[in-house]
Amino acid sequence: MKKRTFKEWLKQWDQGEFDLDRGEAEALHYRPETQEKDDDSWAHRPVRGLREGEYTLFVKVYPFAALLLASVMIFFFMRTVAELPPFASACTPANQSEVIRRYIENGLTETGAVNIVAGVILDYRAFDTLGESHVLFTAATAVFILMLAGEAEPEDKRTRRILEADTVLSVTARVLFPLIVMFGFYVILCGHLGPGGGFSGGAVIGGGLILCSMAFGPERISRLINMKTYRGVVLCALLFYSIAKCYSFYCGAHHLETVFSPGTPGMIFSAGLILPLNIAVGLVVACTMYGFYSLFTRGTV
């Protein structure tokens, strides 16, 4: 390339054809032969863009950069860890604070939940959990935007036929599906009495639905869960969650008693709002898990 004078250079910059970012500049002059964006056409079309050299240089540098970065981080982290409070000790700041004392000693009477973790996440720190279920909703919406029909490929018919013809899968699913769903509901309903809760139970039910959809084909499931029921369930569950929690926050801030009482700890209908919230969360999680699977494979719910 011939050397440009300063004036030419300035003019070029002003014209917006400044040649520093080569990828950009080449893309500017590049006109594809055909406008259609056929999926396979990229495989054999010569491509211009970033230059070959730049790109291989980075690939060469990459392992060293990664090694260097990882070692520096590990070095600093190890020094930090060595000075942390000791592992598995009851006398660390986190394990002997007043926070934990109240959660364990008054949790049963204040929240009515035998499962202290459920009491913490759904009563003491309920705002976090309200945000958390909306994170799941946000992700579901984002996956809807990306995967909903339109550009998504039709389902791979071949895999499905193989799966459907599979006797082992369908027999196992026939036996396991009711058990899985039953177990999921147990985990949700007893979330305040023992290990479990809305998220874990919902994930179990979602897994059961995915198994069922694999074994018997999505048409069978879509009688139970389709776009309409999916939207309805998620809408009702999240609305209930937000409104109930808003009421309880409002009462809390004004030091009012809520109508939900902790009840007798250990009974199924106890622990105030925790049981209904667990059910709502469980429904949302089950639907979302199945929705993710269905959107990824078929592009619709």
Partner 1 sequence: MLQLLWESRIQAVAVLLFAVGFTTLLLHRNLIKKVIGLNIMDTAAYLFLTSIGYIPGRLSPIVADGVTDMEAYVNPLPAGLVLTGIVVSVSVTAVMLSLTLRLYRRYHTLNLDEIYRLVYAEQEDV
Partner 2 sequence: MAFCLNFPLFLIVLCLISSVVSSVLPARAARIWSLGLSAVSTAANAVLFRYAARTNTAVTYLMGHYPHPWGNELRIGPLEALFSAFFSLVLFLCLLGGRRQLAVKVAPQKQHYYYVMADLVQAALLALVYTNDLFTGYVFIEICTLSSCGLLMIRETGRTILASVRYMIFSLIGSGLFLLGVILLYSITGHLLMPNLKESIGLLWSTGQYHLPLLSSICLICIGLAVKSGLFPFHLWMADTYGAAIPASSGILSGLVSKAYIFFLLKVIFDVFGVDVFYACGIHRLLYVMGAAGIIAGSVGALRENNIFRMIAFSSAAQIGYIYMGIGLSPTVGIEAALFQILAHAVTKPALFLSAGHLSDAAGRSKRFHDLQGAGYKDPFAGVAFTLAAFSMIGLPFTMGFISKYLFGMAALDGSHAKMVPTLLVLAVSTVLNTLYFARTVLRLYNKPQADDYERVRIPAHLSYVTAGIVFMAVNLLLGTLSRPLLDLLLQGVRLF
Footprint of partner 2 (CB under 8 A): 13-18, 20-21, 24-25, 28, 76-77, 79-80, 83-85, 92-100, 102-103, 110, 123-128, 130-132, 134-135, 137-139, 141-142, 144-146, 148, 150-151, 231, 234-235, 238-239, 242-243, 245-246, 248-255
Residue 90 binding partner 1, by CB under 8 A: yes
Count of residues that bind partner 1 according to CB under 8 A: 81
**295 near partner 1, rule: CB under 8 A:** yes
Given the complex with partner 2, which of 144 and 177 has the nearer CB atom? Answer: 144
Residue 52 CB burial class (10 angstroms; 0-12, 13-18, ≥19): exposed
The closest alpha carbon to 260, from 283, 237, 244, belongs to: 244
* 8 Å CB contact between 259 and 250: no
Smallest separation (angstroms) from partner 1 to the CB of 118: 9
Residue 114 or 225: the one with the smaller Cβ distance to partner 1 is 114
Identify what 9 binds: partner 1, partner 2, none; CB under 5 to 8 Å per kind.
none
57 counts as binding partner 1 under rule CB under 8 A? no
User: Rounded CA gap, 120 and 249, in Å?
Assistant: 15
214 contacts 172 by C-beta, under 8 angstroms: no
**Distance, first Cα to last Cα, the chain:** 57
| Max Cα distance, the chain (Å) | 88
CB of residue 142 to partner 1, shortest distance in Å: 5
Cβ proximity to partner 1: between 103 and 173 the closer is 103
Stretch that binds partner 1, among 80-88, 170-178, 213-221, 268-276 (CB under 8 A): 80-88
Report the C-alpha gap between 242 and 194 in whole angstroms: 25
Question: Between residue 210 and residue 249, which ones bind partner 1 under the rule CB under 8 A?
Answer: none
Residues, the chain: 301
C-alpha to C-alpha distance for 258 and 202, rounded to whole angstroms: 27
42 interface partner picked from partner 1, partner 2, none, CB below 5 to 8 A per type: partner 1
Q: Which is nearer to partner 2, 127 or 172 (CB)?
A: 127
Rounded (10°) CA dihedral 225, 226, 229, 234:
80
In the shown chain, the binding pattern of residues 152 to 171 toward partner 1, with x for contact by CB under 8 A and - for none, equals xx------------------
Give the distance, in angstroms, between the CA of residue 141 and the centroid of all CA atoms in the same chain.
11
Question: Measured from the CB of residue 52, what is the shortest distance to partner 2 in angstroms?
Answer: 19
Q: Which of 10, 104, 162, 239 binds partner 1 (CB under 8 A)?
A: 104
d(CA 158, CA 163): 9
199 binds, among partner 1, partner 2, none (CB under 5 to 8 A by kind): partner 1
Q: Report the residue number, 128 or 164, with the smaller CB distance to partner 2.
A: 128
CB 104 within 8 A of CB 115: no
Q: For partner 2, which is the closer residue by CB, 146 or 179?
A: 146
Question: Pattern of binders to partner 1 over 264-283, x per CB under 8 A?
Answer: -x------------------
Contacts of 138 (CB under 8 A, 6+ apart): none
Measured from the CB of residue 14, what is the shortest distance to partner 1 in angstroms? 21
Sign of CA dihedral 10, 14, 15, 19: positive
Tokens standing for residue 98: 């007043």
